[in-house]
Amino acid sequence: MAFTGTVDRGFTLSLDSAPASDGENSGFSPMELVLIGLAGCTAMDVIDILRKKRQDVTSFEVEVHAGRADEHPRVFNQVLLEYFITGHQVEKEAVERAVELSITKYCSVSAMFSKTAKLEQKITILEG
């Protein structure tokens, strides 16, 4: 079950059932894409807010770990967003506020997730 998804702007990506029972494994599963959407949405918010707060961020990553319900439709029911921020004298309070604003106000994907899942965040700030 492999497909190609295309949006009006012309971008495409490969979709497949994962894990692939036939060994194909040629693309993302739809549920993986939902998690990538969440990570991308909050990442864009957080880095934009940190730039506005004049935080000197040199590296930024978001990892998403999620659990799903046992029964169909097997929605995500718990999500941990791990933020890894590297920079020069990045203020912990600035990062915490940026994450909070993203999750509670700006990220529409997290707003949808909050209807079915417990959202948790973990922040790691490194100097460099």
Residue 117 lies in a domain: yes
Mean predicted lDDT score pLDDT of the chain? 94
Domain annotation covers residue 40: yes
Q: Which pLDDT score is estimated for 114?
A: 94
Which amino acid type is present at position 114? Answer: S
In tens digits, the chain (128 residues) has pLDDT values of 789 999 999 999 999 886 655 656 788 999 999 999 999 999 999 999 999 999 999 999 999 999 999 999 999 999 999 999 999 999 999 999 999 999 999 999 999 999 999 999 999 999 99
Residue 100 forms part of a structural domain: yes
Asked if residue 63 lies in contact with residue 82, where contact means CB atoms within 8 angstroms, the answer is: yes
List the CATH number of the domain containing 71: 3.30.300.20
Tell me, yes or no, whether 21 lies in a domain.
no
Range of the domain at 72: 36-127
CB-based contact 116:76 (threshold 8 Å)? yes
For the chain, what is the domain count? 1
